[in-house]
Chains A and B, each alone.
Chain A
Amino acid sequence: MPVRTGTIVGSFTAALLLDFMPWPNVMLAPDFVALTLAFWCVRQPRRVGLATGWALGLLVDAGNGVLLGQHALAYSALAFAAIALSRRILWFDLWGQMLHVLLLLEGAQAVALGVRLAAGAEFPGWSLAAGPAFGTLLWPLVTWLLLLPQHRPALLDDHQL
């Protein structure tokens, strides 16, 4: 079941849309781009990788008006870790996958935090870790949604869903 390029592009566009939505509290809002990137890096490590993550990161940086390269660096690291762990993650059930994804997203957030602290910002508080946690809770939904276009009941594989 090959993944169509349109599905990948569409999912990233939707994630960007969700990211740019005016959230009342940005610390608690999940980073949908990071989540989608983690998903495709785990599922399609040959097609989505560091270059995609880096370019998306730059777009997010410019759109949010933060330091150029902050999200680019975080997403590159996230893509690298997700690709390195992709074989391992797919062996687990959803709960095991979510644990891994939590680590990945928190790691990406930590990279961004490190960049900002190095650039002289103050630590905004521990609720910073809540965004990735909420993002992790969305992992089953993202898995279900993004596998829907490839879904063929006749070829259902236990490991794939």
Chain B
Amino acid sequence: MEHTPPPFFVRGPAPLVRLAFFASLSLTLLVLDARFGYAEAIRSVLALAAYPIQQAARLPVVLAEGVAGYFASQSRLRAENEDLRARLLASALDAQRFESAAAEASNLRRLIGAAERLDRKVLPAEILYSGRDPYSRKVIVDRGTQHGARPGSPVVDDVGVIGQLTRAHAFVSEVTLLTDKSEAIPVQVLRNGLRAIAFGGGASGLLELRYMSANADVESGDALVTSGIDGTYPPGLPVATVIRVERDASYTFARVLAQPVAGIERGRYALVLSAGARSPAYPDDDAMRKGAKTRRARKPMADGS
């Protein structure tokens, strides 16, 4: 091997070797990320590096919106103002009714000895843009771990549930929409209290109630609200309206499709509710055995975390 090429002809490893190297590196990362979720640390660093570029990329849009807003006609602003005032009045009425109802409910609950529901903290957020990934349905909101956003928090808009905060970066967070194929939400038919689980329908933009028996009491037009039994979503939030029920005698389950009520693909603003403050009070074995200590053991769980 005395004949080696002079340094200016050295080109490093062969291209195919490089391809094999980088491909195996990528595949390792993919498997680590998709199967085991070990890549979150690398991801958060990279996301922080990408953040300034993302912010800069939004600048033209923000500027254009600012200019458009500046030149918005006065009549439109006035109409919007009127509309908002009317809605504020209606909301104030609702709020008063809610206050009294909540007081009454808490009284009743205290009577039956149930744990009082804790108020969730609410974090207003602006939807920046939809995720640049045609394979999933996500939006990016402008609240991150720095503002107190935590993964798992439900995200709602003024009409109903939008989805769930699935990944929190430092300054922005990813919200997986209800229509995403991997998203599921426990719901209840408002009319009769029937419980079900709604799965995202993917590209169709609908939700699907799976595992509903063929004779289940669901009709088209039924309102679906969160049932709250998972401890993640607070109960009673509007989720969807049933639009089609297909019953086929040859299948065990009915096919129920529902249209989400919230502006899942449209809205601009959203509220991030703090993730289930009440950790589900599963009866643990110790507490079961020493029945007397149950109440004391549960208390720190209820107002802590």
Contact = CB atoms under 8 A, between A and B. Distances in A.
Interface of A: 13, 16-23, 26-27, 29, 46, 49-51, 53-54, 57-70, 72-73, 76-77, 80, 83-84, 115-116, 119-122, 124-125, 128
A51 B116 CA distance: 57
Contacts of A58: 29, 42, 46
A11 B140 CA distance: 26
Interface in B56-100: 56-58, 60-61
Interface string B125-154: 000111111111010100000000000000
Interface in B11-66: 11, 15-16, 18-19, 21-23, 25-30, 32-34, 39, 42-43, 46-47, 49-50, 53-54, 56-58, 60-61
Nearest to A45: B15
Contact of A124 (B30, B47, B130, B134): B134
B132 A20 contact: yes
Contacts of A13: 53
Given A21-B58, A64-B132, A67-B33, A125 B203 contact: yes
22 contacts: A16-B57, A18-B57, A20-B53, A22-B130, A50-B22, A51-B22, A61-B43, A62-B47, A63-B47, A63-B53, A63-B132, A65-B47, A65-B167, A67-B30, A68-B32, A68-B42, A68-B46, A72-B25, A73-B22, A80-B18, A119-B34, A122-B135
A26 B50 CA distance: 18
A63 B53 CA distance: 9
B298 interface: no
B30 A62 contact: no
Contacts of A65: 47, 131, 133, 138, 140, 167, 174
Given A20-B54, A61-B46, A80-B18, A72 B203 contact: no
A21 B22 contact: no
Q: What is the predominant secondary structure among interface residues of chain A facing chain B? A: helix
A84 B135 CA distance: 30
Given A59-B49, A62-B47, A63-B47, A68 B33 contact: yes
Interface of B: 11, 15-16, 18-19, 21-23, 25-30, 32-34, 39, 42-43, 46-47, 49-50, 53-54, 56-58, 60-61, 128-136, 138, 140, 167, 174, 181-182, 202-203
A49 B19 CA distance: 10
Contacts of B56: 17
Contacts of A116: 135
Contacts of B130: 22, 26
Contacts of A67: 30, 33-34
Given A26-B133, A72-B29, A20 B18 contact: no
Nearest to B182: A120
Contacts of A63: 46-47, 50, 53-54, 132
Contacts of B133: 26, 64-66
B43 A72 contact: no
Given A84-B15, A119-B34, A124-B134, A68 B29 contact: yes
Contacts of B15: 49-50, 80, 83-84
